[in-house]
Amino acid sequence: MKNTFKQLTRLTALLPVIFISGLKAESQKARTANQLNIKSIELNYPVPAIPFYHFRAEIELPQESIIEVEAAVDGKVLRATDIRRPSDLMNMNRPTIPIRPPSGYNLSHDGTLYKNFILTGWVRWETGKDYSVRISVRLKKNPDPSPGDIWLTATRTVSAPRGSAVFSSDWKNYKALILSETAGISRTGEAVEVLLAFYSDEAQQIERDIRVVAVDPQTYELTEVPSQVYDRMEYLREDDLDPDEKGKPTRQAELWLPTVTARVAFLADVPAKTSRVYLVFYNNPDAMGKVWTTDLRVQGEAPGLQIENSAISVILHPNSGHLDQITLKSRPDIPLYHRSETNGAMHWNPDIYVPPRPWTHTADWNPPKNVSSVAGSIIARSDVWDDMRKVPEVDASVRYEFFPGVPYFISSTSIRIKETVQALALRNAEMVIKRDLITHAAWYDIVRDSVIIYDVSEIPDFTDLKMEADVPWVMFFNKEKGVGFAGIQLSYSNTGVESPVRVLNPFFYITAGPWVYWARGLSHTFLSSNMQQVIPALKGNVFSERWAYLVFETDKSPDPFTPVTEWRKRLINPLRIDLVEEVDDRVTRIMTEALDDAKSE
């Protein structure tokens, strides 16, 4: 009986201890249930999946929830962050799939339940410095906030890497570009062009302060690359937020802000089947202009420019600005030209024949009313446009683009029907060469799935060799001298505004005479069985082409056309460009847009 009493006494003495311990455990459990667990956090260099200087945090929540996240670095709240579930993570050496527009972060109705997620945000850190990162997560029952939501917050101090230095902080802003190679061809010194937009107060001297740098994927060292800034345009008008005549606010935020746009071209190195990060730094009021030199040179006065690089030399016709002569520098004694008929240029059209008015070509301009050119180290460009001579119902344009170190240039042509005309011929993409300079013609025949080669000497005068309108490539070459000239079709588009496109049996063809030429017949009854039937070219119809014109040696490969197929693979698979930008603080946090709510009467 005494032993039983002692045991009860000891048990009674232990009960308060057990109770207190239980309360502590429950309290600890409650605190854990309301804590934000930052499992890891680090500052990192740009990589293709996250192409900017950033923090990356792995977050664990006490329970699954719809969330809203805010991050602050050294007390400054970031305008936007990116939330990813671990299952969303992909190859860090490739661009990620965008989930939501960064500026629309607070507008996105994300009803996903998160428990574990990865958070990233822009941080322009400096090597070796410490940064305080505060992360706050709002736990919500619905995508829209409500009074019952719970905020969890945690702060960590993070040290920046002590490796490769970042770019000078004198440049206040930058944009990130991810270049991806998809054809399995390593690109070295490839010309890349991108159109960029800037707030007007950040672009006071954008032509002078742009710097483009490549990020080494192993060491993260930055290497400045040759670049060119041109084609600047600005829209400086501000949105009017004054109230209406009744004093009612017209809107809560600006629909637009003054903006400057410009093209930025640069030379990029991207190994086969990889992605690389390039950063475009800007907004340095004290920056001095930098002039890059490459092998691209422009001389003369437009429209009759002379353009050359280390591979080719090109002369544009002094009257029309059309291709007049092209020479491969490794074979300087074999220039290619025409100079046999009328205007004498190699490149003749767009053209149109509206009888009884004479046949008219863009190469007949003398000179065109509109002439524009760009002479730069990365891109040289010539633009000419005007009404067709004696057919003012139709206008057209011809553009050439030249680049460093490559044996080709890009030609873009368009023809627009302003008023309906009745035509015997409507053509585009014509190239003419003196017949004595050429021995053979070749093209890839889509229907027969083979390369067709013709001996030009065996083609009777004014005989047409027809092929499909979307022929991938066509070439002329001199078998004895080992030089070829090829057209590689990059795009071909016909469209209409007031009416659908009206073309009759479009085709591509080669014709021989005192010259040999290739051209596209859009509607070309002049070469048909019934050559006097006219076809209407309808108001609002637009026809456009984009070709690469290549000059090359034909005797250095098993087949004369091998260089054409190799260059075509590269040209139809340009480097893919992804632009990633930081969300500026001035971006509105509310959805605002101008909508036409007028009802039909």
Is 463 a residue whose pLDDT tops 60? yes
Predicted confidence band at 596 (pLDDT cuts at 50, 70, 90)? low
Q: Which residues of 212-224 are buried (b: 16+ CB within 10 A; e: fewer)?
A: bbbbebeebebee
The pLDDT value given to residue 100: 66
Asked if 235 and 542 count as a contact pair (C-beta separation under 8 A), the reply is no
The pLDDT value given to residue 131: 98
**pLDDT tens across 526-558, in order?**
988 898 999 999 999 999 999 999 999 999 999
Mean pLDDT of all residues in 241-266 = 89
Distance CA 165, CA 222 (A): 8
Angle CA 211–217–222, to nearest 5: 25
Residues in a beta bridge with 484 = 477, 552
Distance CA 308, CA 298 (A): 7
The pLDDT value given to residue 246: 82
What fold does the segment set 173-290 form as a domain? Immunoglobulin-like (2.60.40)
Predicted confidence band at 340 (pLDDT cuts at 50, 70, 90)? confident
Strand 323-328 with 336-337, pairing: antiparallel
Distance CA 67, CA 111 (A): 8
Is 12 a residue whose pLDDT tops 80? no
Is 5 a residue whose pLDDT tops 90? no
Q: Which residues contact 315 (CB under 8 A, 6 or more apart)?
A: 304, 306, 324, 325, 326
Angle CA 356–360–366, to nearest 5: 130
- DSSP codes of every residue in 384-402: EEEEETTEEEEEEEEEEEE
The pLDDT value given to residue 22: 46
Predicted confidence band at 3 (pLDDT cuts at 50, 70, 90)? low
Q: Which CATH architecture has domain 297-553?
A: Distorted Sandwich (2.70)
What fold does the segment set 37-159 form as a domain? Immunoglobulin-like (2.60.40)
Predicted confidence band at 598 (pLDDT cuts at 50, 70, 90)? low
Asked if 45 and 221 count as a contact pair (C-beta separation under 8 A), the reply is no
The pLDDT value given to residue 253: 85
Predicted confidence band at 19 (pLDDT cuts at 50, 70, 90)? very low
Asked if 223 and 373 count as a contact pair (C-beta separation under 8 A), the reply is no
Distance CA 275, CA 93 (A): 6
**pLDDT tens across 469-486, in order?**
999 999 999 999 999 999
**pLDDT tens across 20-55, in order?**
444 344 434 334 446 899 999 999 999 999 999 999
Smallest CA-to-CA distance from 284 within 166, 198, 200, 173 is with 173
3-state helix, strand, coil in the chain (%, to 5): 10, 45, 45
The pLDDT value given to residue 88: 79
**pLDDT tens across 284-328, in order?**
999 999 999 999 999 999 999 999 999 999 999 999 999 999 999
Is 341 a residue whose pLDDT tops 90? no
Predicted confidence band at 104 (pLDDT cuts at 50, 70, 90)? low
- Higher-pLDDT residue of 380 and 254 is 380
Predicted confidence band at 18 (pLDDT cuts at 50, 70, 90)? very low
Distance CA 63, CA 196 (A): 42
Predicted confidence band at 94 (pLDDT cuts at 50, 70, 90)? very high
Measured in degrees and rounded to the nearest 5, phi and psi for residue 233 equal -135, 150
Reduced to 3 states (helix: H, G, I; strand: E, B; else coil), residue 457 is helix
Chain centroid, CA 579 distance in Å: 8
Q: Which two tokens stand for residue 202?
A: 């950040």
The pLDDT value given to residue 10: 53
Give yes or no on whether 37-159 and 173-290 have one common fold.
Answer: yes
Q: Which residues contact 156 (CB under 8 A, 6 or more apart)?
A: 38, 41, 57, 132, 133, 135
Residue with the two structure tokens 């070709």: 547
The pLDDT value given to residue 597: 59
- Within a 13 Å sphere around the CA of 542, how many CA atoms are in the beta-carbon half? 10
Is 13 a residue whose pLDDT tops 60? no
Distance CA 427, CA 132 (A): 66
The pLDDT value given to residue 413: 98
Mean pLDDT of all residues in 402-420 = 98
**With helix as H, strand as E and coil as C, how does 126-171 read?**
CCCCEEEEEEEEEEECCCCCCCCCEEEEEEEEEECCCCCCCCCCCC
- Residue ranges of the domains in the chain? 1-31, 37-159, 173-290, 297-553
The pLDDT value given to residue 32: 43
Is 452 a residue whose pLDDT tops 50? yes
